[in-house]
Each structure stands twice: as C-alpha cells, then as structure tokens.
Structure 1
C-alpha cells in the first residue's frame, strides 16, 4: 500500500482538473420550471363549468385523453379541479347517482397550484406530498397550463438522458 506521503504528486491536491470531474459534466439539480415544461407540452387547459354533469365531464376527459379538468365559473375564473380520483370517490359514495351529480358537487375546491417560475423539483414535491397527479399553473389570475406528474417525469427523464450522453462524451473524449 502506498502511503499519501509517498504517493506521486502532480502539483494538485486533486488529481482531476475541474473540466475532468464528474461534477462539471452533470448539470446537478434541474433548473427547469413549470414554464419550461409548459413550453414543451403546450399551454392548453380543458375546462368545464360547475353545472356540467359528471357524465358530461367524463365524456370531455375521454375525448381529450386526460385525467383532470379545471372547473371555471361563468367569468372564467378557476373555482376547482375535478380529477378521475374525485369521480371514483363519487361512485364509491353514491354509486347510483354519480352521473347525475355536477362538477361542482365533486370538484376539489382547495386547489394546490404552481406559478410559471415554480422549479420542477418543487412541482414533484408538491404532487408527492399532496398525493395528487395534476397541478394547474397560474400566472396571476390567468391559467397558464396544467402539468401532470407524467409531464414532470417525462421532462426529467429527458434531462437525465442528456446528462448521461454528456458524461459518455466526456469519457470517450
């Protein structure tokens, strides 16, 4: 075993230069925000009215292939969110009457939201802690978009693939 005292010395405490270090090649925590994700997926938001029947809401969700809708009042202001989970709970509570209920009856009114500058990792944290899969992005009073947990995971996987490619390029030269 070579002791540190007898180890070869190349004039640096750290034998790796900064440009050769793994830390320099990996970007670290994602700097992406809600707006970064919306810029790649789009800002479209599907909305229903509080008076729309659950039957109508499920048709809208099926038509658009989505798992949640924003509920807006007659002035276009968000008053809630209605998700597949809310509808399933409705069926568990009132199996015979759920289709006759309205979006206003089953929607979640205390909606956790994000702003366009909310960091990606904060989005993940809010969704994980709150145990929900969709988060509306508000820019002031305007709904700028809707982000799902799938959108966040997909974006982060693309970032990790890019980081892996950069590391491979660094190793190969």
Structure 2
C-alpha cells in the first residue's frame, strides 16, 4: 500500500528527470584497475639482491618506511619477496643470528604478482585469501610497481568519499 501522501501522476503533470544508480555506477569500483592505483601512488619499487644480508634489508625497510622488498637479479627479474613478517619469523627461529643471513635464505620464492590491468577488487581478494600484504606488479616480465593492502584500501576510501560528495551535490543541487 502506498503512503497516504503519495499521489500517482496525472495526465498533464510535468515529468521530472530522476537519477538512479546504474549497473555501471555500482560496478565502477570493481572495474578499477591496478594501473589506476599506480598512476596515483607511483611506480617506485625497492629491490635487493639475493646475496644481500638481512641487516641491509632491515635498514632499508626502516629508512624507506616500507614493509617489504622485492628480490631481483641484475636484470631486475623477480626472484622473490621479503617482508617484515618473514624477518620476524626467522628472528624467532634463530635469535641473535638472523641479521647476517642472506636474503635468499629467508625470501618467499613463489611470488604471486598482479598485472596493471587486473581489477583492484580481485587483487585484494587474492591478497586477503593468501594472507599477505604486498604484491609486485608485473607488466609481462617487467616489474612496474608494488602495491599493498593499505594502498588498495586507501584508494577505495578516497573513491567512496568522492562518490559520497557527488551524491550530496546531486541531492543538494
């Protein structure tokens, strides 16, 4: 039953154009790509070599304020990834002996990567399911960036704030 204040349109009433959500507007965030995120974040990737020491990596992580580094060879081919979490686990296993160890002994060798054209939502799901926070971005065989769960969340929050502002402007006029 319609509310008592509702009156159905009558012949001769002027129709007002209304705005509604569309499948395109509702799916916009799910089609946002990693490339768009990298356009805003930048493509800087801190890399180390497999024979570098954990001590060197710890200093880099501290100085750069990052949580992981990509391990590459001299041609920048990705060999692995090393995160703070990897280092902390090794420190628990080898107290007082971790810092002189080589990166190749701690790094994760089976690195999951994403591509610039990948959907941000799909990548976030993969990161959540795999329980890791850092993912190198590869364009073919070239390392073109690094994203984190935090990057994706911050990007999406900014999108939501913008969408809310647009809706408010539409409502207010």
TM-score (norm 1): 0.88
**Structure 2: gaps spanning 5 or more residues:** none
Would you say 1:69 and 2:69 are equivalent positions? yes
- Matched ranges for 1:93-112 at <5 A: 93-112=93-112
- Aligned residues of 2:42 and 2:145 also touching (Cα < 8 A): yes
CA distance in 2, matches of 1:35, 1:98: 36
How large is the Cα RMSD of the aligned pairs? 2.2
> Matched residues in 1 for 2:123 and 2:168: separation?
29
Change (3 A) 1:17 1:37: farther
Q: Is the 8 A contact 1:27 1:163 kept in 2?
A: no
Residue equivalent to 2:26: 28
Higher RCO structure (Cα 8 Å, ≥6 apart): 1
Runs of 4+ in 1 over 4 A off after TM superposition: none
**Distance apart, 1:24 and its partner CA:** 4.4
Give the structure-2-normalised TM-score.
0.88
Equivalent residue, structure 1, for 2:8: 9
Q: Deviations over 1:46-102 (max 9, x none)?
A: 000000000001111111111000001233211000000000111011112111111
In structure 2, relative to structure 1, the CA distance for the partners of 1:73 and 1:27 (3 Å cut) is same
Matched, 1:88 2:84: no
CA displacement at 1:9 relative to structure 2: 2.9
For residues 1-173 of structure 1, the aligned pairs below 5 Å read 8-10=7-9, 19-21=18-20, 23-24=21-22, 27-29=25-27, 30=29, 31-173=31-173
1:137 to 1:17, Cα distance in 2 relative to 1, 3 A: farther
The answer to whether the Cα contact below 8 Å between 2:81 and 2:111 also exists between their aligned partners in 1 is yes
The separation in 2 between residues aligned to 1:129 and 1:151, in whole angstroms, is: 17
Q: How many residues align?
A: 165
Moved more, 45-54 or 23-32: 23-32
For 2:59, what is the secondary structure of its paired residue? helix
Deviations 1:84-136 (A, max 9, x none): 00001110111121111111010001111000001110111011101111110
Unaligned runs of 5+ in 1: none
